Structures are given as structure tokens and as C-alpha cells.
Amino acid sequence: MSVLFKAAPPETDPGFENIRRTVWHRRGFLGSQTAYVTLAFIIITLLVATLAGNFTTTNNLLNISRNFSYIALISLGMTVVIITGGIDLSVGAVTALTAVCTMVLMRWVTDSPLAAVPWAALVVPIAAGLALSAFVGWVNGMMVARVGLSPFVTTLGMLSICRGLTYVITQGRGQPPSGPYVAEFLSVTNGNVGGLPASVVYMLVCAMVLGFTLRHTSWGRHLFAIGGNEQAAVRTGVRVTRVKISAYMLCSLSAGLTGILLAGWLGSAPANLANGYELRVIAASVIGGANLAGGVGGPVGAVIGSALIEVIRNGLVLGRVDAYWQDALIGLIIILAVLVDRLRTRQR
């Protein structure tokens, strides 16, 4: 009999003892893949820190955190979709399309009568860019949740559409921010908040809000229910279609936001921006413990997964390992993460 449990019986103690409460280290967060990966992340970070002398410089740490914050931001949105049992392959293309459209709009609004309105040349393009990304997510969600198409195929198609449009709009040329508010744009997207890069702050805020929402609202609970057993969710009156559409919208929105932030960081939105990000984002989510079968995942996993990839990448760079090894190693980590989880859950 667990002493721990006797000492502090929960108020819902049903008064039977043959079925013990799951031991603490297998329950909740500590029992999840995310916990194991967090541990791995800490160990690997310490390892890299001792092996590579200049890893722990403030500059390098800030660089790393900014580098992974973009992937992590999209991973947060992706995790929401993965929890419902879906996938969104279009995020990289949406990132680029949003960034490019926002830049083009900055130019247009500046040249239009709207420019007379204070701040319009900054606020309108950003709002329109975010709205565009949410719209793309809405289309994905409608196709998946209402029409019933496969998420993989739908979002693969959307990837191609968005990337194609990005090239059509830019003709392959990079689009810099322009107009009277360029300085403000750069400080909003690439400034510093209390010594931290803006993108890192956005990531932390989004992660905290998402974590809270997933745990403490019906919407969050319904996401998990849909991923666990969609049929059961339908039968118990969960608005499955609506919730799924909202998941795809949120995912696209996170990609759109990231696109705007990237445009600020790079000082331009190239047409090939975020090329191949979808795979890095999915890798980060999965390493962090999101299960592609649905029903499992969280913001901590998304952030840690992204961070782990970046620390390894950075460590290899500092260790002067051939850059081509990076991808192979990250692939290995993906498989290792799910393998460890598989072995761990089997032994129960």
C-alpha cells in the first residue's frame, strides 16, 4: 500500500484499496513521453555545454533560443492538430505566403489613401496577413472535418497551392518590409523584451496560453476526446466539426505569425522562406511526445522537442561536425524518442 496515498487521500477517495492509484512517477506529466524527452534534453544540453566550450555564452544561448522559437511556435499549432489525430503539411508554405503577403501589403497600404490613418501601414498588413493564414486553416479544416478528406492529402495540396502562390506573387524576389513603420515593424517582430528575443517571448506566451487552455477549457478537453475516439466525441455531443476546424485554423495562424516574425528577423521575406519547415515542425512535435495517432500532446513537448533539435544542431556546429550529419542524427532522435515511449508503455 502506498504510504504517499494514505497520507493524503484525495477528496474523491472512493474507499477501496484493491485498485491502487497509479504510482506518482507513472501518472500525469511524469508518466508521459514529454517528461522523458525533457530529461534527455537536459542531459544532452549539459553534455554539449561541457564538450563545446563556447556553448554557454549568453550570445550563443540567445541565438539558439531564437533559432528554435520559430519552429516551436509552429509546433504549438501543429500539436493542436496532432492531438485531434490530424496533420498539417501546409505550415511551411503558409509561413512563406503570410510573410510575403504581409510585406506586399505594407507596400500597398503605404501607397494608398489608407496611409493617412496613423499606424494603418503597420497594423493593416499584419492583421490581413494573420487573417489570410487563418483563412487557409479554415479551408483545411473544412476539407478535413466537414467534407471528410484525409488531412495528409488536403494539407499536402494546400502546401503546393500556398508555395505556388508565394512564387507567383514574388516572382521569386525577396520582399522587404517598407513604408513609414519599418522600424516599428522590426521592433515588434525582432526586438528585445527584457533581454530576450521577441520571437522567444511570443513562443513562451503562446505556449503558456495554450497549455492553460488545453487543460482548463472544454475546447481543450474536446480536442483530446476527438483524438482519442472521434465517434465517442460525436455521440456525447462534442461539436467535432467545429473543434477540428478551429484546430486547423490555430495551426495555420501559428504558421502565419511565425512568417511575419521571420520576415522581421531576416529583414525580408524570400519566396523560399520556411521551405521544408513542415517536416521539422512535425519532428519537433513528435519528439516532444505528440502522438500522430491522436489524443496525446502538449505545449511543453512542442517547445522541448524544438529545443532539443536545435541544441543538437548547435552542438554539432560547435563541435565542427560535418553539417550533413545533422539531419541523419535528428532522424535517429525521432525514431529513438518514439521507440523509448513504445518500450516504456509496453512494460505496463
Partner 1 sequence: MLYVAQAEPAPSQGVRPGTLPAGERLLELNGIGKSFGAVRALDGMDLAIGVGEVVGLMGDNGAGKSTLTKVIAGNFPPSQGEIRLEGALVTFDRPAAARDAGIEVMYQDLAIAENLTAAANVFLGRELHRSFGPLRLLDHRAMNRRAAELFRELKSETRAEDTVREMSGGQRQAVAIARTRLAKSKLVLMDEPTAAISVRQVAEVLELIRRLRDSGTSVMLISHRMPDVFSVCDRVVVMRRGRKVADKLIAASSPEEVTGLITGAIAAA
Residues that bind partner 1 (CB under 8 A): 10-16, 18-19, 21-22, 215-218, 221-222, 224-225, 227-229, 231-238, 295-296, 348
When the beta carbons of 173 and 215 are compared against partner 1, the nearer one is 215
Q: How many CB atoms lie within 10 A of CB 197?
A: 20
Q: Smallest gap, in angstroms, from Cβ of residue 125 to partner 1?
A: 29
Q: Smallest gap, in angstroms, from Cβ of residue 2 to partner 1?
A: 13
When the beta carbons of 18 and 54 are compared against partner 1, the nearer one is 18
Whole-angstrom Cα distance, residue 301 to residue 293? Answer: 16
When the beta carbons of 97 and 226 are compared against partner 1, the nearer one is 226
Whole-angstrom Cα distance, residue 129 to residue 321? Answer: 39
- Size (the chain), residues: 348
The dihedrals phi and psi of 163, each to the nearest 5 degrees, come to -65, -40
When the beta carbons of 29 and 119 are compared against partner 1, the nearer one is 29
Q: Smallest gap, in angstroms, from Cβ of residue 242 to partner 1?
A: 12
What is the radius of gyration, based on Cα positions, of the chain?
Answer: 22
Q: Which helix (H) or strand (E) holds 192?
A: strand 192-193
Residues forming beta bridges with residue 175, ordered by sequence position: 269
Q: Smallest gap, in angstroms, from Cβ of residue 5 to partner 1?
A: 11
Q: Smallest gap, in angstroms, from Cβ of residue 288 to partner 1?
A: 17
Q: Smallest gap, in angstroms, from Cβ of residue 235 to partner 1?
A: 4
**What's at 34, amino acid-wise?**
T
Return the DSSP state at 21. Answer: P
Return the DSSP state at 269. Answer: B
Whole-angstrom Cα distance, residue 83 to residue 292? Answer: 8
When the beta carbons of 57 and 218 are compared against partner 1, the nearer one is 218
Q: Tell me if 278 sits within 8 A of 264, measured CB to CB.
A: no
